[in-house]
């Protein structure tokens, strides 16, 4: 995530405006919980109706949904997840995320 496309708010979250050159719709927030040499754990918040359009990047990611409902498209397959569900996408696979409801999840991103 490039810092030039993120604005800090008063809770330590950064608002995500652009992902991999694609404009984000709605309100998407991210907060780094812990990071290491090749991994970072984030808490993500998407307001209902927010969309991160189809994109890909050079890291693997997985998430655990705390609350809400998300529609994911990963490698051309649609998946709807809610509180207690998990998801995964390999590196370099096209994917998108849409918040069907206000949603929060923990995401782990792992680089090579």
pLDDT per residue as tens digits for the range 37-47: 999 999 999 99
Name the domain count of the chain.
Answer: 1
Q: Which domain holds residue 67?
A: 3-110
- Nearest by Cα to 50 from 16, 81, 1: 16
Query: Does 62 or 9 have the greater pLDDT score?
Result: 62
- What is residue 2's predicted lDDT score, i.e. its pLDDT? 40
Identify the CATH number of the domain in which residue 66 sits.
2.60.120.10
Quick one: 78 exposed, middle or buried, by C-beta within 10 A (0-12, 13-18, 19+)? exposed
């Amino acid at each position: 995530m490039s810092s030039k496309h993120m604005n800090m708010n008063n809770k330590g979250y950064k608002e995500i405006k652009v992902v991999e050159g694609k404009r984000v719709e709605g309100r998407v927030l991210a907060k780094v919980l812990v990071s290491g040499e090749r991994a970072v754990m984030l808490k993500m918040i998407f307001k209902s109706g927010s969309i991160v359009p189809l994109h890909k990047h050079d890291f693997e990611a997985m998430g655990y949904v705390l609350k809400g409902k998300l529609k994911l498209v990963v490698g051309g397959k649609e998946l709807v997840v809610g509180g207690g569900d998990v998801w995964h996408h390999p590196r370099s696979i096209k994917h998108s995320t849409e918040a069907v409801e206000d949603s929060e999840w923990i995401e782990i991103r792992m680089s090579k």
